[in-house]
Amino acid sequence: MTAIVENLPPLLILAGPTASGKSETGVILAERLNTHVISADSVQVYRHFDIGSAKPPKELLQRVPHHLMDAVEPEEDYTVSRYKTDAGAIAAKLWSAKRLPLVVGGTGLYLKALTEGLHCGAKTSHEAELKMDEVEATDGLTTLFRLASEADPEWMQKIHPNDRFRVRRALGVYWTVGRKLSDIYRENPNRPEWDTLMVALDVPRHILNLRIDTRVEAMMATGWREEVRRLLGRGYNMDIKPMRSLGYRTICEELAGLIEPGETERIIKQQTRAYAKRQVTWFNGIRGAVKISVGENQGAEDVAKAILTKDEVVRFLHSHGVSVG
């Protein structure tokens, strides 16, 4: 995270856990700043995955242009690297048109790619992936973490044992190229492309959990299960990335007879609360992020006003000549 870096174009990020009110607040910010919204959501980027990804309603989407939402087909493997390229190109185009690029979302890997870049392009081989699959199936993620820690203790000090993606990334690269990620990153220091300011919505845990429960209930009531049935009927299954995402996987398991229908909603609520907790932990670790407290009865208009009058945001906008409407 940078703090008003000279000669770099600006990038304002509105982040927060699921159900924190990012979408509506982001639209209001975009209206006040006369700009567009660049989505940073790894499921909303896919077409046809609507209810379970909590895509904003049409009336909200019509208020300002949205980018990287409904952007790719479900069978496409939309990577973090591709997101960084696509979002960066859109942001550059907006700034060239004198519009402040505004990113709204909660997918940490997408946001990290924009704020810190992608330091390492090393690929994990298919053989390494298969080997890790075998070890994980037999001995669990704990063993993968131990093996990765033995290979690169410096790097793994920063990784949580349950962070499956990063554990497999570190071990997979080591098994593929025989080099430590810590060494690769050290040899390829990343230079910032944007002067970024991240604003993170901070919702008290009990309020956030209540919002999550209410949202999941509404999603199920408005046809999430039927949406999954339609997707399965079109040939999309858990081989594709979005169908393995939060909630979709659980409904697939219910429809396959692996979960009792009465348990599905409870499981999704539980998983979503755990996911939101991980998001909050991640946002809390972002150096320089500006926290905005969100109260129980505070609407999106009030939250947007709090953001635009926050000292750090005012200085950021002023330093780049951005006015508020």
Same domain, yes or no, for 202 and 291?
Answer: yes
Percent of the chain's residues with pLDDT above 70: 95
Question: pLDDT per residue over 279-294, tens digit each?
Answer: 999 998 888 899 999 9
Q: 142 lies in which domain range?
A: 126-187
74, 157: one domain = no
Do 26 and 96 lie in one domain? The reply is yes
Could you tell me if residue 60 is inside a domain? yes
CATH of the domain at 305: 3.40.50.300
Residues 285 and 209 in one domain: yes
Beta strands (DSSP E) in the chain are 10-15, 37-40, 66-67, 102-105, 195-202, 290-293
Three-state secondary structure string covering 25-45: HHHHHHHHHCCCEEEECCCCC
Phi-psi region of 67 (alpha: psi -120 to 50; beta: other; left: phi over 0): beta
Q: Within a domain: residue 158? A: yes
Reply yes or no on whether the pLDDT at 5 is more than 60: no
Q: Assess if residue 212 is contained within a domain.
A: yes
User: Which of 137, 161, 187 is a domain's end point?
Assistant: 187
Which pLDDT score, from 0 to 100, does residue 182 have? 87
pLDDT digits (tens, 9 = 90+) for 256-281: 999 999 999 999 999 999 999 999 99
* pLDDT-derived band at 45, boundaries 50, 70, 90: very high
For residue 2, what pLDDT is reported? 46
One domain, residues 51 and 173: no
Of 187, 206, 240, the residue at which a domain comes to its end is 187
In a domain, 237, yes or no: no
Q: Residues in the chain, how many?
A: 325
- Does pLDDT of 3 surpass 50? no
Domain assignment of residue 269, yes or no: no
- Residue 186 — pLDDT band, cuts 50, 70, 90? confident
Q: What is the DSSP letter of 157?
A: T
Cα 143 vs. chain centroid, distance in angstroms?
27
Residues 159 and 295 both lie in one domain: no
Helices (H), 202-255: 205-221, 224-233, 248-255
Locate 182 and state its tokens.
């810590």
Q: Could you tell me the CATH number of the domain that includes residue 135?
A: 1.10.20.140
pLDDT: which is higher, 231 or 162: 231
69 inside domain: yes
Task: Pick the last residue of a domain from 187, 206, 234.
Answer: 187
Q: Are residues 160 and 29 in the same domain?
A: no
**Residue 311 clears pLDDT 60, i.e. is over it:** yes
Count of domains forming the chain: 2
8 A C-beta contact, residue 277 and residue 287 = no
Residues 107 and 130 in one domain: no
Residue 112 sits in the same domain as residue 25? yes
Domain shared by 22 and 37, yes or no: yes
Q: What is the pLDDT of residue 36?
A: 99
The answer to whether residue 148 sits within a structural domain is yes
Share of the chain above pLDDT 90, in %: 80
Please tell me whether residues 105 and 164 are part of one structural domain: no
Least reliable range by pLDDT among 6-20, 204-218, 240-254: 6-20
Q: Which helix (H) or strand (E) holds 240?
A: none
pTM of the entire predicted model:
0.81
Same domain, 137 and 163: yes
Residue at 98 is within a domain: yes
